[in-house]
Amino acid sequence: MRSVGQAELTYILLAARWTVLLSLAGLLGGGMFGAVLTLASIARSRLLRRAVTVFAQMVQGTPLLILLLLAYFGLSALGLDLGALLSSLLALTLYGGAFLTTIWRAAIDAVAPGQWEGAAALGLKRGQQLRLVILPQALRIALPPTSGFIVQMIKNTSLASIVGFIELTRAGQIVSNATFQPLPAFAAVAAIYFVLCLPFTLLSEWLEERRTMPTNP
């Protein structure tokens, strides 16, 4: 009977290109947006800091599925037809930005307050304090959750199937229902996700070793 063979595996592999594209778009967009939000969250303006908090929490609390639906169908209903790719990019950017800013801001916070003061005592301006003293230390703390989020993002692109993308997970479902063999089909899907995600994890761990202060045993 029909098993998960070459045609099926090729189908799944090709579907991965959407996963890659959507992930890249979401991470680039989300990363830039997140950086902006993070700077805003340590601004002197209390209103700005508050706004970032409210926004980040609202977006984080909304399932990505809803964000995608609002961006694709919702905007379409209001007359703004972005198309599947752009609306997915919009939703993923908002989503990524909100999560990344939370992670990054927490990492900055975790650096001891004394570091800010010490940097200031050395005559560094606020921007230089951030760049030269705080960020390198925050980086170590931020790396694992960030790499964790990158991986979540790659896997979350599976939701884009609802706006019509036949991406990796949806391809797995289609093959699973065509062959009635979910385990081989999804094993192939898992293997591809693994190959896509693992490099980020490894990269982050490598960076952790090289660029940050030695950890205590």
Partner 1 sequence: MTSGYIFDFWPVAQRWPALLDGVWTSLLLTAVGVVGGSALGIVGALFRRSKMLALRWVMRAYVELFRNTPLLVQLFLIYLGLPSLGIRLSPMLAACLALVLNNAAYTTEIIRAGIAATPPGQVEAALSLALRRWHILAFIVIRPALARVYPALVSQNVLLMLSTGITSAIGVQELTAAASDINSETFRSFEVFLASGLIYLLLNYIQRALLWGASRRLFPNQRYWT
Partner 2 sequence: MTNHRSPHFWRLLFGTLAALALSTVGASAQTFDAIQKRGKLLAAINLAAPPFGTTDSQMQPAGYDVDMAKLLARDLGVSLEIVPVTNESRIPALLTGKADIVISVLQITPERAKSVMFTAPYGIHQSLVLAPAATKITSLADLSNKRVGVARGSVYADILARSAIPGIQIIQFGDDSATLNALVAGQVDAIGTVTFLANELKKQYPDRHFEEKVSLQDNIYAMGIRRGDFDFLRWVNTFIFVHAHDGQIATLYEKWMGEKLKNLPSF
**CB nearer to partner 1: pick between 15 and 123:** 15
| Binding test (CB under 8 A) with partner 2, winner from 4, 8, 34, 38 | 8
Cα atoms found within 13 Å of the Cα of residue 116, Cβ hemisphere only: 11
In whole angstroms, the minimum distance from the beta carbon of 195 to partner 2 comes to: 21
* 178 binding partner 2? (CB under 8 A): yes
Q: Which option in partner 2, partner 1, none does residue 122 bind, with CB closer than 5 to 8 A by kind?
A: none
Contact pick of 52, 170, 192, 193 for partner 2 (by CB under 8 A): 170
Q: For the chain, give the secondary structure using H, E and C.
A: CCCCCHHHHHHHHHHHHHHHHHHHHHHHHHHHHHHHHHHHHCCCCHHHHHHHHHHHHHHHHCCHHHHHHHHHHHHHHCCCCCHHHHHHHHHHHHHHHHHHHHHHHHHHHHCCHHHHHHHHHCCCCHHHHHHHHHHHHHHHHHHHHHHHHHHHHHHHHHHHHHHCCCCHHHHHHHHHHHHCCHHHHHHHHHHHHHHHHHHHHHHHHHHHHHHCCCCCC
Closest Cα partner for 84 from 99, 98, 73? Answer: 73
Taking CB under 8 A as the binding criterion, the range among 28-36, 92-100, 136-144, 181-189 that sits at the site for partner 2 is 181-189
Is 113 a binding residue for partner 2 by CB under 8 A? The answer is no
Which of 17, 36, 43, 54: binder of partner 2 (CB under 8 A)? Answer: 54
Site string for partner 1, 149-178 (x = CB under 8 A): --xx--x--x----------x---------
Q: Is 61 in the site for partner 2 (CB under 8 A)?
A: no
Binds partner 2 (CB under 8 A): choice among 17, 164, 190, 202 = 164
Segment 8 to 37, residues that bind partner 1, using CB under 8 A:
none
Task: Give the interface with partner 2 as residue ranges (CB under 8 A).
Answer: 1-2, 5, 7-8, 10-11, 50-51, 53-54, 57-58, 69, 73-74, 76-79, 161-164, 166, 170, 173-178, 180-183
